[in-house]
Amino acid sequence: MSASAASAITLLALAACTPGHDAAAPAAGGAPAAAQVLRRAVDAGGMRSIDPSISTDVPAAHVLDDLFEGLTRLGQDGEPAPGVAERWETSADGRVWTFHLRAARWSNGAAVQAGDFVYAWRRTVDPRTASDYAEALAPVRNALAIAEGRMDVTALGISAPDERTVRIELTAPTPFLLSLLTKSYAYPQYEPALRAHGDDWVRPEFMVNNGAFRLLEYVIGGRVTLVKNDDYWDAAHVRLQRVVYLPLDRAAQTERFFAGDLDFTESFSAEQTAWLRSRLGAQVVSAPYLGNFVLGVNVTRPPFAGNRALRMALTLAVDRETLVRYVRQGLYQPAWTPTPPLPGYRSPVPAWAALPEAARHALARRYYARAGYNAQHPLHVELRYPTDSDNRRTYEAVAAMWRTNLGVVAEPYNEEFRVQLNERHLKQLALFHYAWIGDYPDPLTFLQLFQTGFGYNDGGYSNPRYDALLAAAGSEADATRRLAELSQAEAILNEDVACIPLYYYATRHLIRSYVRGWTSNIQDRNLSQYMYLLRSQAH
Amino acid sequence: MRRTRPGALVAAALLALIVAAALLVPALSPYDYATPVWTKIFSGPSVSGGHLFGTDSLGRDLLVRVMWGCRISLLVGIAASLISVVIGVCWGALAGYAGGRLDGVLMRTVDVLYAVPFIPFVIVLEVAFGRNFLMVFIAIGAVSWLDIARIVRGQTLAICEQEYIEAARALGVRTTTMIRRHVLPNLIGLVAAYATLAIPGVILFEALLSFLGLGVHPPLASLGSLVAEGANEMQANPYLLIIPAAFLATIILCLNRLGDALRDALDPRHEEDGHG
Amino acid sequence: MLRFLLQRLLTAIPTLLVIATLAFVLLHLAPGGPFDSDKVLVPQIQHAIESRYHLDEPLWRQYLRYLGELARGDFGPSFQYRNTSVNELIAQGLPVDAAIGSAALLLALLLGGATGLVAATRPGSWRDQLPMGLAVLGISIPVFVTAPLLILVFAMRLHWLPSGDWVAGSWRHLLLPALALALPYTAYIARIVRAAAIEALGQPYIRTARAKGLPTHVIVLRHALRPTLMPLVSFLGPALAGVLTGSIVVEQVFGLPGIGRLFVTGALNRDYTVVTGVTVLYGALIIGFNLLVDLCYAWLDPRVRART
């Protein structure tokens, strides 16, 4: 690893250690402010629905994190912690879990019962609900069969032996189950509210929820206001009285922060990192994020089909340190493999990553020549990417690197996300935007993308050895051995150059120094219930 | 004929200067509009640094990029105006010359199209036909010919009332020949004036599309996309907004001035500043 | 008069039909569908979603269904915002645009009118040339440049006004967006008023008034104002339409929940019903504005009144 990459990582590590961790003990700044109103931005274009069974976008997920609570909730440290369930046990083979509920209440005062979970999960996998997330519950027994209409919803592997016990049966040991349970599709839902109001149950006047806040106002495409829920079981520890969510695009978030109209932004433009740090200091917060920026390669059609040499040449010719340092201003970490760093997981970085730049370029040119291309017959390739100024700079830079290092004629071409997704799924694109945000902190969420027949395998990669290793890991009860098998599988991906990883994402927030109680975490989920404002500077 | 405004000469000279610069600077400059220069990202405008206008987020020379932006914007403006002029003149001349039922149908169509909300329509067109560079001006050109059609029709009516046309008609000259030989030549000055006035509108329209992310593809840039990019960097690097915005404003201003002067000189019916 | 009104209203129907059809056809020609998402759906679920929105029917059936619903004033359910109808979205967004649009037009009329009148009293002096120079500039700088600059100055540097967001009934949240939208129209109006006022002030009866020794502001307000209204009214039709669709940019920059932003995200997400609904609404409003302007014109000008 070169010096520049190392310094980038140090920066990230430093940023992760900046203030905000000490929720329990207010820092020297003084006592909590009297008016506890947090103004949070979320990225614009989301918030399509706040129905937990239906919502899929990140902005809505933040709001839902505040409105609902599953069997587990995301703890302040970013790890799953007891939520509605106060304790649980698991069977020896890891396939049956039993959760014991605490005395939690809905926002209308009714008790949260085991049946509310059963109802909600059945609703999510029911084909009639048409939930995009039915497949997310795939680890639960029969979930997929029900979603495909082959079984009745009552066959789902979740049951309520009594009012305070939830029993979950899984198809395979699922080490990340506790993390899955914190997600929106695993929340309980209050059946009487849904029965009475149908699809309208998510409106402020009808919603019954069990989280730390309740819904006061919901303007479509605009502001969402939450107020503290006094019926929440842990309400004693919730200090914010009100949370205002504002969907804004990236530039507007920064502007509003400077205007003093926001306390917590969702993102800022990577290009402005250095300038923002010079102006805002420690209020600029960044930490590793569970996502990768990868170029997808279609191995089923020319020019990449059966041409590993060409794929090798292209991946070797990308100067990742340069990209991260100059285009992303040191915000992200360079990536040589699809899976971002995860605790306990050994990332199989290919040997060529350590080569000095000149040697790597020379190697790239050798592969390029072996693939049958040269200055007279250069490779012509279109780089399709979804419209976004952040993406644009990266793609322009990669195209320029291929041009200068190999002589490739690469044209960046932006198009709308919807169009591109369609073309990707139909495997019409040779090279495409394949960035991925993990659903749960486990390598599987990234490695699945290259499994034969997997729904999102848009590059058409298929290798029996790879599939066998994933299958072996799937039924492996021992966590260490499982991770080792996944690591072996990932090494095969690198060997075959199944994709071109560029960098791993980082979270990027502007957070006022008087906001406390947040923690940088790899899933970038910050529950408002842990946050509060110090009196000294609050608005 | 009215007096020509002195402002029009200045505008014409300024415009000529910008066009010349847009053609020459990219050819003569040592910098490329597309290739990133990692060590020069966001260097501000300076004479000694070699970048008169500074560099952008990928270290590319802003002067060259702005000049390319002028090329693209002017190209889009002229091409789209030509399209709208061709459609508008044909439509209007035919309506004015033919008169009667055909005139009624043609002009009623124009009335209907006047109610079409243009910005939304061009957005839908852009989305529907992919983000093809050609589509940008075809879309704009296809929706902005209405004014010209109306004006041309009025002029044609006036021309047709003149005696030599009636004489020619009486001699049995064919309609198309009539329009081509007698009507169109009389319209040229007027059409030139309105075409000049249409260009700035089109340029602004393209800039708006670029701002909404529906314009040209990178690494190419139009003034609109440069302004949109600069607006995001407005605080940290204001020159990225101000310089392309100044060029955009100057071009629009000059074209408006020039068009106004041409119209005043060539359109006898036009009242001073009747409407925008 | 009544016949004129009826005639205009009748021609509005085919116009709206054309607009609705154009929007429908174009959108369905566009690649990508409303439910192509990040997540690849199980075919059964994909089918369930499509039949819920009748997307599995042949296109002509969808078209007829759409026209039928349109005739009843129903724009259908939104595709991107689940559980929400387009009518609700419009009902929520339109008041925002109405508030900003009318505030902008009012600002433009007041500022532009005053500037134009002042300039007309002394053509050629600095009181004429300075504001008219500014007006030309105002026409030449697009809204998406002035809007961020207004935020930069008044919200970020001076902290006088909020940088965006929408609070119904709050003039502080209204002012910057309305100003940004008003600037080009202010410039146009100033030019129109100036030209008309200069012409009016050259009329013999004004010279008589001057000879009687009436002060300038009295002459301007009492005698020159009415004739300047005529060209202004004919400008208002396009201006109303422009303010309406121009708010797309202002909404984007200030992050306002109006229908313009709804339209753009709808077009990008293939939200067929939102796009067609908003387009038809825009068309109807433009027709309404033009009619209103014609009525005003008829009322102001006796010659036109006689003809209709």
Could you read off the pLDDT of C253-286 as tens digits, one per residue? 888 888 888 888 888 777 888 888 898 888 888 8
Q: Given C31, C44, C48, which is nearest A419 (Cβ)?
A: C31
* Amino acid occupying residue C206: I
Q: Does residue A12 surpass a pLDDT of 50? A: no
In this prediction, residue A22 has a pLDDT band, given cuts at 50, 70 and 90, of very low
ipTM, two decimals: 0.78
DSSP alpha helix (H) spans, A58-217: 58-67, 114-125, 143-147, 177-180, 191-197
Rounded to an integer, the average pLDDT of C87-105 is 90
Residues 6+ away with beta carbon under 8 Å from A299 = A305, A306, A311, A459, A460, A461, A496, A498
> C14: which chain B residues are within 8 Å (Cβ-Cβ)?
112
Q: Does residue A21 surpass a pLDDT of 70? A: no
DSSP alpha helix (H) spans, B54-132: 62-98, 100-114, 118-128
* Amino acid occupying residue B256: N
Higher pLDDT: C194 or A19? It is: C194
* ∠ CA B142-B144-B147, rounded to 5°: 130
Q: Does residue A49 surpass a pLDDT of 80? A: yes
Q: What is the pLDDT of residue C135?
A: 82
A345-354, A361-370, C286-295: least confident range: C286-295
Structure confidence by residue, pLDDT tens digits, A181-216: 999 999 999 999 999 998 889 999 999 999 999 999
* Amino acid occupying residue C4: F
Q: How far apart are CA A263 and CA B39, in angstroms?
A: 34
Higher pLDDT: A289 or C141? It is: A289
Strand partners, A46: none
In this prediction, residue A493 has a pLDDT band, given cuts at 50, 70 and 90, of very high
Number of C-beta neighbours around residue B174 at 10 A: 9
In this prediction, residue A69 has a pLDDT band, given cuts at 50, 70 and 90, of very high
Cβ separation of B59 and A326 shorter than 8 Å? Answer: yes
* Amino acid occupying residue C11: T
State the burial class of residue C295 (Cβ atoms within 10 Å of its Cβ: 0-12, 13-18, 19+): middle
DSSP alpha helix (H) spans, A308-370: 308-316, 320-322, 357-370
3-state helix, strand, coil in chain C (%, to 5): 80, 0, 20
Structure confidence by residue, pLDDT tens digits, A273-293: 989 999 999 999 999 999 999
**Domains in chain B, please, with CATH?**
10-25+55-268 (1.10.3720.10)
Rounded to an integer, the average pLDDT of B15-41 is 88
- Specify the 3-state DSSP secondary structure of A36: coil
In this prediction, residue A453 has a pLDDT band, given cuts at 50, 70 and 90, of confident
In this prediction, residue A390 has a pLDDT band, given cuts at 50, 70 and 90, of confident
Cβ separation of B116 and C152 shorter than 8 Å? Answer: no
Structure confidence by residue, pLDDT tens digits, C12-21: 888 888 888 8
Q: Please, are residues A290 and C191 in contact by the beta-carbon 8 Å criterion?
A: no
> A251: which chain B residues are within 8 Å (Cβ-Cβ)?
231-232
Cβ separation of B219 and A272 shorter than 8 Å? Answer: no
Cβ separation of C165 and A246 shorter than 8 Å? Answer: yes
Q: How far apart are CA A319 and CA A308, in angstroms?
A: 19
> C149: which chain B residues are within 8 Å (Cβ-Cβ)?
234
Rounded to an integer, the average pLDDT of C133-142 is 81
B33-42, B129-138, C260-269, C298-307: least confident range: C298-307
Q: Given C142, C252, C287, which is nearest B115 (Cβ)?
A: C287
Closest CA in chain C for residue A454: C40
Residues 6+ away with beta carbon under 8 Å from A406 = A313, A314, A317, A364, A365, A368, A373, A378, A379
Q: Does residue C1 surpass a pLDDT of 80? A: no
Q: Does residue C304 surpass a pLDDT of 80? A: no
Q: Would residue C73 be called left, alpha or beta, if left means φ above 0 and alpha means ψ between -120 and 50 degrees?
A: left
The residue among A396, A408, A510 with the most chain B CBs within 10 A of its CB, best to mutate, is A396
Cα of B16 to nearest chain A Cα, Å: 32
Structure confidence by residue, pLDDT tens digits, A304-350: 998 999 999 999 999 999 999 988 888 899 999 999 999 889 999 99
Q: What is the pLDDT of residue B132?
A: 65
Cα radius of gyration rounded to whole Å, chain A: 24
Q: How far apart are CA C295 and CA B228, in angstroms?
A: 40
Q: What is the pLDDT of residue A25?
A: 40
Higher pLDDT: B185 or B151? It is: B151
Q: How far apart are CA A129 and CA C26, in angstroms?
A: 30
Q: What is the pLDDT of residue B212?
A: 77
Q: What is the pLDDT of residue C268?
A: 76
The residue among A273, A389, A390 with the most chain B CBs within 10 A of its CB, best to mutate, is A389
The pTM score is 0.84
Angle separating helix axes C2-29 and B100-114, nearest 10 degrees: 70
* ∠ CA A208-A205-A111, rounded to 5°: 20
Q: What is the pLDDT of residue C307?
A: 47
Q: What is the pLDDT of residue A31?
A: 67
Q: Please, are residues B145 and C45 in contact by the beta-carbon 8 Å criterion?
A: no
Q: Please, are residues C52 and C273 in contact by the beta-carbon 8 Å criterion?
A: no
* Amino acid occupying residue B274: G
Structure confidence by residue, pLDDT tens digits, B136-151: 677 777 777 888 888 8
Q: Please, are residues A522 and A289 in contact by the beta-carbon 8 Å criterion?
A: yes
Q: Please, are residues B197 and B8 in contact by the beta-carbon 8 Å criterion?
A: no
Strand partners, A248: A43
State the burial class of residue B111 (Cβ atoms within 10 Å of its Cβ: 0-12, 13-18, 19+): middle
* Amino acid occupying residue C214: L
Q: How far apart are CA B220 and CA A411, in angstroms?
A: 11
Q: What is the pLDDT of residue B273?
A: 42
Neighbors of chain C by Cβ distance (3+ pairs < 8 Å): A, B
Question: Looking at the complex, does the CB of residue A397 fall below 8 Å from at least one CB of chain B?
Answer: yes
Question: Looking at the complex, does the CB of residue B62 fall below 8 Å from at least one CB of chain C?
Answer: no
Structure confidence by residue, pLDDT tens digits, A403-423: 999 999 988 877 777 777 778
Q: Given B124, B212, B253, which is nearest C27 (Cβ)?
A: B124
DSSP assignments along A497-520, one per residue: T-EEEEEEEEEEEEB-TTEES---
Paired tokens of A489:
């599988």
Q: What is the pLDDT of residue B272?
A: 45
Q: What is the pLDDT of residue B244?
A: 93
Q: How far apart are CA C284 and CA C293, in angstroms?
A: 14
In this prediction, residue C292 has a pLDDT band, given cuts at 50, 70 and 90, of confident
* Amino acid occupying residue A65: D
A111-115, A233-237, A417-421: least confident range: A417-421
Q: How far apart are CA A445 and CA A356, in angstroms?
A: 32
Segment of A140-144, A465-469, B229-233, C126-130 carrying the highest mean pLDDT: A465-469
Q: Does residue B275 surpass a pLDDT of 50? A: no
Q: Would residue A427 be called left, alpha or beta, if left means φ above 0 and alpha means ψ between -120 and 50 degrees?
A: left
A32-36, A509-513, B224-228: least confident range: A32-36
> C256: which chain A residues are within 8 Å (Cβ-Cβ)?
222
- Average pLDDT, rounded, for chain A: 87
Paired tokens of C258:
């109006």
Q: Please, are residues C89 and C274 in contact by the beta-carbon 8 Å criterion?
A: yes
Number of C-beta neighbours around residue B38 at 10 A: 15
> C15: which chain B residues are within 8 Å (Cβ-Cβ)?
111-112, 115
Tell the residue number behind the tokens 């929340």, with chain if given: A187
Question: Looking at the complex, does the CB of residue A204 fall below 8 Å from at least one CB of chain C?
Answer: no
Q: How far apart are CA A469 and CA A168, in angstroms?
A: 26
Rounded to an integer, the average pLDDT of A448-457 is 86
Cα of B144 to nearest chain A Cα, Å: 26
Cα of C103 to nearest chain A Cα, Å: 21
Percent of chain A with pLDDT over 90: 62
Rounded to an integer, the average pLDDT of C81-99 is 87
Rounded to an integer, the average pLDDT of B109-120 is 80
Rounded to an integer, the average pLDDT of B261-267 is 77
